[in-house]
Structure 1
Amino acid sequence: MRLFAQLHWYFRREWRRYLGAVTLLIVIAILQLAPPKLVGIIVDGVTLEHFTLSKLLLWIGVMAVIAVVVYLLRYVWRVLLFGASYRLAVELRADFYRQLSRQSPAFYLRHRTGDLMARATNDVDRVVFAAGEGVLTLVDSLVMGCAVLVVMCTQISWQLTLLALLPMPVMALVIKRYGDQLHQRFKLAQAAFSSLNDRTQESLTSIRMIKAFGLEDRQSALFAEDARDTGEKNMRVATVDARFDPTIYVAIATANMLAIGGGAWMVSQGMLTLGQLTSFAMYLGLMIWPMLALAWMFNIVERGSAAYSRIRDLLAEKPVVEDGMQVLPEGPGTLVCQINSFTWPGSQHPQLHQVDFTLAPGKILGLCGPTGGGKSTLLSLVQRHFDTDDGDISFHGMPLRQLQLNSWHQRLAVVNQTPFLFSDTVANNIALGKPGASQAEIEAVAKLASVHDDILRLPQGYETEVGERGVMLSGGQKQRISIARALLLNAEILILDDALSAVDGRTEQQILHNLRQWGAGHTLIISAHRLSALTEASEILVLQQGNVAQRGHHSELANQQGWYRDMYRYQQLEAALDEEDETGEQAHA
C-alpha cells in the first residue's frame, strides 16, 4: 500500500479524473446490488405464486436495463482511470530521460545501459499498472465489499453475515504477510532482469567481436547463467504469488459453508425465507470478487512499489555538474584554462596537474602526448563533463561553473574518438544538430569533411540507411560524417578529439586544409596522435602524465629535444617507408 503514498503527488494533481472514476465505481457497485435483491423477490414471488407473467417480465426488464447502464458506466470509468495512468507513464519516462540527459559521464560509470533500459520500460510499466488497475481494484473491492456487507446486515441477517465473515480476518493477516514477501522478492527479480538486460545489450552491440574471437559458446553460457538466475528469482516471486488465490478460495469456501449451514438452520426455524437465503448466497458470491481483487491489488501494488523505489532512487540522484545561472554574451570569447589539479571520481592520483593555456578567438590549440597523458581528460573539463577540483576554466571572463550548461554547450561542436551514428540516413545523421538544414548545407559540410564523394558512391547516396551505429560504413567514413555533423552547427569552438585517426594521411591533410578555411572565424581544439594534424596550430601542448611537458609552435617543438621531436621524426620515417612500399608495389605492377 506504500505505493499510493509514494504517488500522492500525482493523485492530487489528477484528482478530477480519479474522483470521476471512483464516483462511477461507487454508482456501479450500488447498481450491482440490485440484481440479487430482485432475484430474491422473483424467487419468493414465484414460490408463493402471486407473480403474474407481466410482473415477472417487468422485473427481468429492470435487471436488463441495470446491466446495460453498468456496461456503459464501466466504459467511461476505464477511459478516466486508465487515461490518467497512461499520462503517468508519459511523465515518468519524460522525467527519466531528462534525468539521464542531465547526468555526467560519472553517472554512467555507476549505471549500466541494460539496467537503465529496464527501469525506463519494465519498472515504469509496473508502476503504471498499479496506478491504474491497483486503484481500480482497491476502490472497486472496498466499495463493493462494504456495500454488500451493509445490505447483507440490514436487509437479510446481521447474525448470518457475522458468521460468514469469521474466516476473513485470518485471510487478511495472511495476505498482508504475502505482500511483504512479494515486495522484497520482486525487487530482487527486477534487479536480476536488469542484469539480464545488460548481458543482452552488451552481447548484441559486441556481436562482431564475439564472433571474431570465437566466444559464442562462452557468451551463451554466461547468458544462460543470467537467464537461470533471473528465472529462479522470478520463480520465488511466483511462489508467493501462487499462495494468494488458494488462500482466498479457502476463506470463501469456509464462508459459504458457514453461510449455507447457518442459513439452512435459520430457514428451518422460520427466521429467513428461502428467497432471502438465495439472495444471501448471491450476495456472498459477490464477495468473491472483492476478496480476489484485494489479493490481486496487494500483488500488483507491491510490485509497483518495488519498481517505483528503483525509479525514484535514480531520479533522486543529483547531477555531479550543477547548472549555473549566467548566460553567455553574444560574440566570440577567449577561453582561459588554469587547472592546478584534477582527480577523477574514485581515483587516488590526479590526472591533470598545473595545466594552463589561453585560446583567443580564431586560434587553434593542439593537444598531443603519449596515451594516458590527460588529453581526453582536459577536453572533458573544457566541455564541463566534470568540474575542476583546484583551478578554473573561464570563457568571456566567466567561470564555466557559473554558466548555464545549455548556454555553454551551444558554443561547442565536438567530434569524439569513437563517433556514434544513429540508425538513420546519412543526411539525417549529418543534420542531427540542425534538423532543418537544407540539402545544399548538408552537402557543403560533407565536402569540407571530404566525405561527399564517398556518400555519392553509396547505394542511395545521402538517403542511404547506415544501420545501427553506422554498421555499414568504415571507421574513416563514420569519423568524417561526424565531422560534417559538427561543422553544420557552425559553433564558435570546434573540438576534434583524435577525430582523424581512422583516415589516411592524404585525406587528413585535405580535411585540415578545409578546416583552416572554414575556421577563419572559429576556434579549434585538436587532439591527435598523428602530429601532422597539428602543424598549423597556434600553440601545441604536449601532455605527459597529466603535466604540460612541452608547449609551443610546431617548428619550435620539432627542433626541441623531447617527446614531440622524437615522435615527429618517427612518424616522418614511418610515412617515408610507407611511400616507398607504395612506389615499389606500383613499379612491380
Structure 2
Amino acid sequence: MGIFKKLSWYFKQEKITYFRGLLGLLLTVVIGIIPARLIGNLIDLIHNKQLTSSRLVFLLALLLGATIFQYVARYIWRTAIWGGAAKLERVLRTRLFSHFMNMDRPFYNRHRTGDLMAHATNDLSAIQRVAGGGILQFADSIITGGTTLIAMMMFVDWRLTLIAIIPFPLLAVMARYLGMKIHIAFGDSQAAFSKLNNKAQESISGIKVIKSLGQESEDVTDFNQQIDKTIEINRRVNRLDAMFDPVTTLIISISYVITIVYGGILVTNGTITIGNLVSFIAYLSRMIWPIFAVGMLFNTLERGNASYDRVMSLLGEKTAILDAKDGISTPPSGELKFDIDKFSYPDNREEPVLKNVHLDIKAGKTLGIVGKVGASKSTIMELILRQFDQYEGSISYGGHNIKDYQLDAYLPVIGYVPQNSFMFSESIRNNIRFALPEATDEQVEAAIVKSGLKNQVDKFPNGLDTNVGEEGISMSGGQRQRLAIARALIIDPELLILDDALSAVDAETESEILQHLHEERSGKTTIIAAHRLSSVMDADEIVVMENGQIIERGNHAQLMKKRGWYHEMFERQELQTKVEGGSTNG
C-alpha cells in the first residue's frame, strides 16, 4: 500500500473528487444488495404458493428502481474516479515534461532518449492505473466485500457465512507472496522496455547511417535479440500475474462447495429457507469480484509503485543551471568578457578542457575561433550559452555576470547555430518561425535571403511550405545549416554564435552568407568557430585554440605574419582550394 501513501499529496488535493467517487461506489454496492434479497423473497413466495400478481409487480418495480438508481450511482463513481486518474496523469506528464525542459546537458548525457520516453509513457500509465483502477479495486473490494458479508449474515445465516469464507484468508497469503515477486519482475520489465524503446529510437534516427553502411540486417538482428530478451522478462511477469486468477477461482470453488453442502443441511433442518440459500449463493457470487479485485490490486499497486519510484527519481534530479528568478530582467548588450581560468566537464572533473582562456569582445565586433578538432572551441560557446555553470572564473555581458541575468532575459538575445542543427518535422516556414512564432512572411523571406537559402527554397515544390521531414531528412546538410542560420537571424540577435555552422556549404555560399552578416549585423556582436579559415579571416580578432588554451591571437594579417599554426593551416587550405578548383575546371 506504499504507493497510496506516496500519492497521498494528490488524493488530498482531489479529496472532493474521490469522496464523490467513493460515495457513488458505496451507493452502487448497497443498492446491489437489494436484487439478491428480492429474488430470494420471490422464490420463497413461489415455494410457499403465496405469490400474487400485485406482489410480483411490486417486486419487479423494486428491481427496476434499484437498477436505475444503481446506473446513476455507477455513473457518478466512474466519472469521478477515472476522471481523477486522468487528471493525475496530466499533472505528472506536465511536471515531467517541464522537468525535461529545465534540465541541463549532464542530465541528458546520463539518460538516453528511449529511457526518458519510456518514463513518460509506460511509467505514467502505470501510475494512472493506481489512481483509477487501484482506488476502485481497493475501495470496491472493501465496500463490496464488507457489505455483502453483512448482508449474508443479516439476511441469511451468520454460521453459514463464517464457514463459507474460511478459504478466503488463503488469498491474503497468496497475494502478498506473488505481489513481492511481481514488484521485482515488473521493475525488470520496465527496464527492458526502456532499452527496447531506446534501441528503436536510435535506429530510426540513424537510419541514413545504417543504410549507407549496409547494416540493415545486422541492426534488425540486434533489435530482434532485444525483443527476445524483453519478451522473456515479460513472460515471467505474466506467469506470476496469471497465478492470481486460478488461485482465486479455486478459493471461490471451495466456498461454493461448502455453501451447497452446509447450506443444504440448514435448509433440510429448517434453519433457513430455500429462498435464503438462493440469496446466499447470489451474495457469494458477488464476493468473486472483491476477491479478484484483491488479486488485481496487488498487481496494480506493485506496477504503479515501481513506476512511481522511477519517475520520482527523475524528478528528483536537480539542474546545475540555476535561474536567477529575481535577477536582471533587462536583456544584455554591450561588451562580452570571457575570463575562464579552468573548466572541466562534470563527468571528468580531473581533466580540464579550458585553461586560462580570456576573451574581450567589444560590442559590434566579430570574434573568430579556430583550431584542431577537440581544441575546445565549442566548449567556449557552451559556457556562454550557460549549458554549464561550474567553472573557475567569470563570464560577463554588458558589465554583469551572466549568472545574474534571468534566463528568459539572457538567452533570447543569443542566436545560436551549431554544426548539426535539429529540424522539426514541419515546414521550412515553421522551422524558421520556431525562434519567433509571431514573425511575418516578410521577416521569414528576409531571413532566408540572409542565410543564402532563398535560391534553394524557390526550387522546392511547395516553397516555404515544404515539409523538411523527421529531423530535416529531406534536406542536405548545407540546406539544414542555412535553415538554422535563418532561424537564428530572424530574431535579430544581439549576439550571434556560429559553431562551425558553415562547414556543409560551398565556398561561394559561405562568402555570400558572410557578406550578408557583415552588412546586416552592423553594431551587433558575432562569434564564429570554424575549421575553414575563410569563415573567420574578416573577423576583428581571431584566436587559435589547442588543448583548451589560446596559442595564437590577432587579426588575419597579424596571424599570417606570425607564421604559426594559423599561417600553416591557411596556406594548406588555400592550396587545397586551388587544387580542387583546377580539378573541377579540368
Partner of 1:176: 176
How many angstroms does 1:329 deviate by? 2.8
What fraction of aligned residue pairs are identical, expressed as a percent? 37
How many angstroms does 1:285 deviate by? 0.8
How many angstroms does 1:582 deviate by? 3.0
CA RMSD of aligned residues (A): 1.3
Are the counterparts in 2 of residues 383 and 409 from structure 1 also a CA contact under 8 Å? yes
Partner of 1:29: 29
Deviation string 1:393-431 (CA, Å, 9 cap, x unpaired) is: 122232223332222211211001101111111111111
One-letter code of the match for 2:525? T
SS at match of 2:203: helix
Partner of 1:345: 346
Return the alpha-carbon distance in structure 1 between the equivalents of residues 158 and 93 of structure 2.
Answer: 50
How many angstroms does 1:76 deviate by? 2.7
Selected match of 2:565 from 535, 557, 563: 563
List aligned pairs for 1:313-332, cutoff 5 A: 313-325=313-325, 326-330=327-331, 332=333
Bigger mean CA deviation after superposition, 37-46 or 207-216: 207-216
How many angstroms does 1:546 deviate by? 0.5
User: Do structure 1's residue 334 and structure 2's residue 339 form an aligned pair?
Assistant: no
One-letter code of the match for 1:361? A
Return the alpha-carbon distance in structure 1 between the equivalents of residues 203 and 211 of structure 2.
Answer: 10
List aligned pairs for 1:297-446, cutoff 5 A: 297-325=297-325, 326-330=327-331, 332-347=333-348, 348-446=350-448
Are the counterparts in 1 of residues 537 and 556 from structure 2 also a CA contact under 8 Å? yes
One-letter code of the match for 1:436? E
Runs of 4+ with deviation above 6 angstroms = none
Are the counterparts in 1 of residues 114 and 197 from structure 2 also a CA contact under 8 Å? yes
One-letter code of the match for 1:369? G
Are the counterparts in 1 of residues 22 and 139 from structure 2 also a CA contact under 8 Å? yes
Gaps of 5+ in 1: 585-589
Are the counterparts in 1 of residues 333 and 397 from structure 2 also a CA contact under 8 Å? no
How many angstroms does 1:96 deviate by? 1.1
One-letter code of the match for 1:544? E
Are the counterparts in 1 of residues 424 and 469 from structure 2 also a CA contact under 8 Å? yes
Partner of 2:219: 219
How many angstroms does 1:328 deviate by? 4.2
Deviation string 1:350-404 (CA, Å, 9 cap, x unpaired) is: 1110001111211111111011001011111111111132111122232223332
Return the alpha-carbon distance in structure 2 between the equivalents of residues 399 and 103 of structure 1.
Answer: 21
Are the counterparts in 2 of residues 466 and 472 from structure 1 also a CA contact under 8 Å? yes
Return the alpha-carbon distance in structure 2 between the equivalents of residues 327 and 162 of structure 1.
Answer: 73
Return the alpha-carbon distance in structure 2 between the equivalents of residues 331 and 161 of structure 1.
Answer: 79
SS at match of 1:489: coil
Partner of 2:528: 526
Are the counterparts in 2 of residues 451 and 477 from structure 1 also a CA contact under 8 Å? yes
One-letter code of the match for 2:241? D
How many angstroms does 1:330 deviate by? 4.6
Deviation string 1:184-238 (CA, Å, 9 cap, x unpaired) is: 1101101000100111111111112112212122111111111011001100100
Partner of 1:587: none
Are the counterparts in 1 of residues 331 and 413 from structure 2 also a CA contact under 8 Å? no
**Structure-2-length-normalised TM-score:** 0.98
SS at match of 1:372: coil
Return the alpha-carbon distance in structure 2 between the equivalents of residues 322 and 95 of structure 1.
Answer: 18
Are the counterparts in 2 of residues 89 and 125 from structure 1 also a CA contact under 8 Å? yes
SS at match of 1:521: coil
One-letter code of the match for 1:339? I
SS at match of 2:526: strand
Are the counterparts in 2 of residues 328 and 396 from structure 1 also a CA contact under 8 Å? no
Return the alpha-carbon distance in structure 2 between the equivalents of residues 61 and 84 of structure 1.
Answer: 35
Partner of 2:125: 125
Are the counterparts in 2 of residues 381 and 388 from structure 1 also a CA contact under 8 Å? no
How many angstroms does 1:331 deviate by? 5.8
**Structure-1-length-normalised TM-score:** 0.97
Deviation string 1:48-85 (CA, Å, 9 cap, x unpaired) is: 11120221122012112211221232123212221121
One-letter code of the match for 1:136? L
SS at match of 2:522: helix
List aligned pairs for 1:198-347, cutoff 5 A: 198-325=198-325, 326-330=327-331, 332-347=333-348
Return the alpha-carbon distance in structure 1 between the equivalents of residues 465 and 58 of structure 2.
Answer: 70
Are the counterparts in 2 of residues 424 and 466 from structure 1 also a CA contact under 8 Å? yes
One-letter code of the match for 2:413? R
Are the counterparts in 2 of residues 372 and 545 from structure 1 also a CA contact under 8 Å? yes
SS at match of 2:445: helix
User: Do structure 1's residue 488 and structure 2's residue 490 form an aligned pair?
Assistant: yes
Partner of 2:499: 497
How many angstroms does 1:11 deviate by? 1.0
Deviation string 1:236-281 (CA, Å, 9 cap, x unpaired) is: 1001100100111111111111122121112222211111111111
SS at match of 1:541: strand
Selected match of 1:477 from 479, 487, 497: 479
Are the counterparts in 2 of residues 421 and 478 from structure 1 also a CA contact under 8 Å? yes
Q: How many residue pairs are counted as aligned between the two chains?
A: 584
Bigger mean CA deviation after superposition, 546-555 or 394-403: 394-403
List aligned pairs for 1:30-109, cutoff 5 A: 30-109=30-109
SS at match of 2:369: strand
List aligned pairs for 1:455-470, cutoff 5 A: 455-470=457-472
SS at match of 2:337: strand
Return the alpha-carbon distance in structure 1 between the equivalents of residues 62 and 408 of structure 2.
Answer: 65
Are the counterparts in 2 of residues 324 and 401 from structure 1 also a CA contact under 8 Å? yes
How many angstroms does 1:444 deviate by? 0.4
Partner of 1:140: 140
Return the alpha-carbon distance in structure 2 between the equivalents of residues 169 and 23 of structure 1.
Answer: 27
Bigger mean CA deviation after superposition, 382-391 or 281-290: 382-391
SS at match of 2:416: strand
Return the alpha-carbon distance in structure 2 between the equivalents of residues 70 and 81 of structure 1.
Answer: 16
One-letter code of the match for 1:343? S
Return the alpha-carbon distance in structure 2 between the equivalents of residues 482 and 122 of structure 1.
Answer: 34
